Structure 1
């Protein structure tokens, strides 16, 4: 009867077995897909963004859109966002519409457009429009009205719907405005300059958006990096393909783990080593989806294949 050493001598190298080769092929495939999605930006969602700017007189003082005012910083931040919203960076540039609000809401660009230069030109022309500052009733800040106007504008869009509101004021947000935004799948994102605005923070949480309280000097960075990156992220796909690669890696390592570590180094019997190696692969196959689900929930990401947003 042959001993264990004799049996081992006649076994084929582990890299010749399908149990090693097939997972290795899937591992390579998933890593290539992760690299392509990362390098080419594949999987980024189509996005429509309504930007609501606070035009109340607290944002500019005695002169509308005065140099150095909060309002001027708001406009510069919008332009910084539009500078990144180009075909060079995005396969599908965002559809953007700009609104101005105080006591009432006025459109600063008429339609959604993905041509950044056209949006900039329309915005500049609107800001030069005579009587604009008075037409928005600059002495008050109606956040609910601004949210409703943004929701109405986005409700007919087929893309992922993002409302980005920037204000230096505080006020109440009606539950109806939040409910309408949620019903129309509009995410409310807010930038509050100065003090916190708890009502907007709750509205952001309720609609799946993001709330930031910051300094006026941070507006350009928040618009062009944080929110632009958030709206156009394909992170959910990167996490998905890397998780698939991790599971494939665990199955690829079954035979090396069995032969080299357990039987070779730890001198375990063949049957016990095989069970442990397979058990490790099954363990990670079951645990990885749970970990990924928790990451998606923590980062507020939709599941791949089920939602484009």
Structure 2
């Protein structure tokens, strides 16, 4: 015995509503990805290596690392200012010592460019020494980001040194929810720094003078402002809606083609919708939207 439907399954309100929601969530996920909706508020502390090795001219490009860093940060700040939800940036130079370049966190690209020019004119590289004290740089960056209470915290360290980071600093970054990102120029990425980036949710990338600007303005800027979890969330809602939209068609398929009793077919179709709803929320549910 098969269930006699009073009308086509496609005319049931639950199926129509589910189909409508599938379309809505797909469109919202597309717009979120394209227009950058729901981008998190982010503060980025950039620590720029100004040790003596960064003054040397690169033989291929004729450009020093210090000059490349400055150009890359200016480009980042300029593109960042055009974003619907720009990051707040703070800059500091380091070698043996750490010297602030900006006084606070800001998204003002002109103010950031002016601060960089003033730092160069003031010979900031002479104030920070000639070595590479990475531990001190990260410590200073964490202290700076500790004031950014309501924002996601990202630190970017650009260096041509191969120094390691103490385990204490990695634990401190985790406790302050600071993501450590490293751009290692003309050096192999130390295992310690790669592990620190993974443990805190950051990236450790290898670079050279030629591509440093591209990595900072494109890959890292996109990573800092990523709203991918919201894109995945809306796609998850579309999948859930799709499973409920298929409730009656699946029930009819099980009855007519597999000759399953209508009561068993209904239970299987309902179980399928409930199962995928629970699994989808487990994989990417509301709790995943909390935090950075």
Question: What per-residue deviation string (whole Å, max 9, x for no partner) do you get for residues 166-216 of structure 1?
Answer: 101012322332233222221111111122222222222232221112333
- Which residue in 1 is equivalent to 2:155? 163
State how far apart, in whole Å, the 1-side matches of 2:43 and 2:268 are.
Answer: 51
Question: CA RMSD, aligned part only?
Answer: 2.4
Give 1:229 deviation, angstroms: 0.3
2:262 matches 1:270:
yes
Give 1:221 deviation, angstroms: 1.4
**Number of matched pairs:** 288
2:94 matches 1:109:
no
TM-score (norm 2): 0.89
- Which residue in 2 is equivalent to 1:146? 137
- Which residue in 1 is equivalent to 2:250? 257
State how far apart, in whole Å, the 1-side matches of 2:57 and 2:243 are.
Answer: 66
Match of 1:235 among 215, 224, 228: 228
State how far apart, in whole Å, the 1-side matches of 2:208 and 2:108 are.
Answer: 29
Question: What per-residue deviation string (whole Å, max 9, x for no partner) do you get for residues 87-145 of structure 1?
Answer: x3x22211111111000011122221111121011111111114x2221111x100001
TM-score (norm 1): 0.85
Q: How does 1:145-294 map to 2 (within 5 A)?
A: 145-158=136-149, 159-193=151-185, 194-259=187-252, 261-292=253-284
Give 1:69 deviation, angstroms: 1.3
State how far apart, in whole Å, the 2-side matches of 1:167 and 1:128 are.
Answer: 21
Give 1:227 deviation, angstroms: 0.7
Q: How does 1:91-110 map to 2 (within 5 A)?
A: 91-110=84-103
2:75 matches 1:80:
yes
State how far apart, in whole Å, the 2-side matches of 1:114 and 1:120 are.
Answer: 11
Q: Is the 8 A contact 1:95 1:112 kept in 2?
A: yes
